Amino acid sequence: MIKRLQKRYALSEQGAKDLVKGCLACVLQNLSFMFPVGLLYFLVGDLMNGGVPGEKIIFYIIGCVVCIGLILLTTYFQYNATYFATYTESGVRRITLAERLRKIPLSFFGKKDLADLTSTIMADCTFLEQSFSHFIPELAGSIISTVLISISLLAFDWRMALAALWVLPVAFAIVGFSAKVQERLNQKAMDVKMACADGIQECIETVRDLKANNAEAEYLKGLEKKIRAVEHRSILNEFGLAAFVVSASLILKLGIATVALAGSVLLIAGSLDVLTFFLFLLVVSRLYDPLQGALQNLAAVISTRTNIARMNEILDHPIQQGENRLSNKGYDITFYHVGFAYNTGETVLKDVSFTAKQGEVTALVGPSGGGKTTVSRLAARFWDVSRGKITVGGMDISKIDPETLLSLFSIVFQDVTLFDNTILENIRIGNKDATDEQVLAAAKLANVDEFAEKLPDGWHTNIGENGCELSGGERQRISIARAFLKNAPIILLDEATASLDVENETLIQTALSRLIADKTVLVIAHRMRTVAGADKIVVLSEGTVAEEGAPEKLLKQNGLYARMVKLQTESQSWKLA
């Protein structure tokens, strides 16, 4: 049962156990509310027989104290078993989702955007937090306690019990049959919410381009439509829910009428005494109130299916696994007949074979879309190959845990990601255990000290979100400093100087020359002069290796590489008319 609950509600093992405890706590709480009814039954019986005997007064006083004590005790138990346990599980759930995302291949993120994933971890978890603290335990508690009370009523007087209970299966059936309708409504509502969230995020991220092109007004019109669609869907959702819940609640209220009618008929016929009639009126008035809440809870539980399905999409997605022990002999990177296609079915690499040797610089060049960036990502196991094999020092990387494998790599991307923290801490990302002295040494090798020491707080200056306070060249130098600090034996450089001015490019090339000494280096570049000093050039075109060899050799072959060099040389002489 625990495993089924884990799968059904996206819970941890402890969360599933806590859910069971919460349901039992709600059962006990609901049953404790029936004790005063029993006490009242005996009291009314005594009053109808001429008054409460003196010796029974103590009994009723003790009974009242016991009832209050039981209600307080079960309520305390119910609070701890539902609310407190749920908040703990909510934290566990978010951490579990984040940990799962850490191990999922990057291909998954190509199908999901940031707003969608953020909504799953934050909004969906918050909704489930409310469901597990308010809806599910109380629903289960109401149903189980109602079944137990119903059995007692049937044993007491089956005729009156049937008059009271016939409404229950009808009311729950109405809400239960609404599940498919609610799922469709919830899915449509979720779709428009995600479209709206994407639109808001895109608007914030592209506000500069929208302003530059005078496109703000037009874009905001489209965004307003998305916001109105969310509003429209939310109203439809509430109407759809209310139609079933209100109908079921009206049916439930008929139970009081049938109890009164059946009791009156039996009372007149002389087959029912007044005290039993009073008891049933008392019980049904107490019984239907929590059940009315249970109907709303049932509808809310049904609506959680969409949120749970979104979480399970992450939790059930295959992860990249492997051994935690490296067995490589050296650091040569070798591609053996590698083929790769994205999930969309688009084939990027067809049959790629080459070796990037340790101590050499291997440059990947070629037309856009030829597969250069894909090759570098596959080498670090950001994705897994569709066919063929990639080895590092003879070690098959598909059998190594990605995080263990990445300990061998230092990567410098064209698009640098920085954090809203100090320069020192941003560099320390390369090695979290590094001392300040080690961080400063790496920073100086990357020429970061040239601008860092001029800032108001020096190395402790906060650089803003994604380094917004720094120039492109300064941000890139921090990225290179991270690579120096990590000091891994394999370096991947992905267009590290493509968008820099001449002065910054010279500084960064100087820093890179220090970084790549005696290491296996894989460089991606569009500027042919950037790779002119490489030991080996691999020309990728249409997903295959078109040419391979030293720059001088490829120039003599007068092939694709030679043509690219020629075109770039000609383009340098271009100027505005």
pLDDT tens digits, 408-450: 988 888 778 888 889 899 999 888 888 999 999 888 888 888 8
pLDDT, tens only, 350-392: 889 999 998 888 988 888 777 888 888 889 888 888 889 999 9
Q: Which one of 260, 289, 315 terminates a domain?
A: 315
In the chain, the N- to C-terminal Cα span, in Å, equals 77
Q: What is the DSSP string of 97-119?
A: HHHHHHHS-THHHHH--HHHHHH
pLDDT tens digits, one per residue of 500-541: 566 666 766 777 777 777 788 888 877 777 777 788 999 888
Find out whether 280 and 263 touch, Cβ atoms under 8 Å: yes
d(CA 439, CA 240): 59
Last residue of a domain, one of 315, 349, 378: 315
> Closest Cα partner for 308 from 188, 187, 141?
187
Closest C-alpha to 333, from 381, 406, 396, 392:
392
H-assigned helices in 430-471: 436-445, 449-452
Torsion angle of the four alpha carbons 537, 542, 543, 544, in this order, in degrees rounded to the nearest 10: -50
Domain co-membership, 403 together with 440:
yes
Let me know whether 15 and 55 are in one domain: yes
Kindly report the CATH number assigned to the domain that includes residue 171. Answer: 1.20.1560.10
Nearest Cα to 106, choosing from 426, 376, 389? 376
| 320 inside domain | no
Encode pLDDT of 238-284 as tens digits: 887 778 888 888 888 888 888 888 888 888 888 888 878 877 887 77
Which of these, 409, 415, 347, 354, lies nearest to 377 by C-alpha position? 409
Average pLDDT, the chain: 82
What does the pLDDT read at residue 574?
58
Query: Looking at the structure, do residues 272 and 412 belong to the same domain, yes or no?
Result: no
Cβ–Cβ under 8 Å, residues 96 and 12: yes
State residue 335's pLDDT score: 93
Structure tokens at 543: 């997903």
Q: Are residues 239 and 152 in the same domain?
A: yes
- 334: pLDDT confidence band, cut at 50, 70 and 90? very high
Burial of 386 (0-12, 13-18, 19+ CB in 10 A): middle
Residue 392: per-residue pLDDT = 92
Does any domain span residue 265?
yes
Tell whether the model's pLDDT for residue 3 goes beyond 80.
no
When pLDDT is averaged across residues 173-194 and rounded to a whole number, the result is 82
The confidence band for 333, taking pLDDT boundaries of 50, 70 and 90, is very high
pTM of the shown model:
0.68
Residues 6 or more apart whose CB falls under 8 angstroms from that of 166 comprise 255, 258
Q: What is the pLDDT of residue 428?
A: 92
Asked if residue 337 and residue 311 are part of one domain, the reply reads no
- pLDDT value of position 355: 92
Residue 553: domain span:
333-572
From the list 240, 227, 100, the residue with the least C-alpha distance to 174 is 240
Q: Which of 283, 315, 347 is the last residue of a domain?
A: 315
Is 394 a domain residue? yes
Asked if pLDDT for residue 70 goes beyond 60, the answer is: yes
Q: Are residues 357 and 263 in the same domain?
A: no
Query: Does residue 534 sit within a domain?
Result: yes
Residues 554 and 417 in one domain: yes
- Number of Cα atoms under 13 Å in the Cβ half of residue 174: 21
pLDDT at 497: 63
As for how many domains the chain has, the answer is 2
Least confident of 44-58, 221-235, 248-262, 532-546: 44-58
Instruction: Tell me: do 166 and 42 sit in the same domain.
Output: yes
Same domain, 462 and 421: yes
Q: How does residue 499 score in pLDDT terms, banded at 50, 70 and 90?
A: low
Q: What's the rounded Cα separation, in Å, for the pair 108 and 111?
A: 6
Domain CATH number, residue 385: 3.40.50.300
Classified as helix, coil or strand, 545 is: strand
Angle, helix 274-315 to helix 179-205, in steps of 10 degrees: 40
Nearest CA-CA partner of 346 in 542, 114, 549, 162:
542
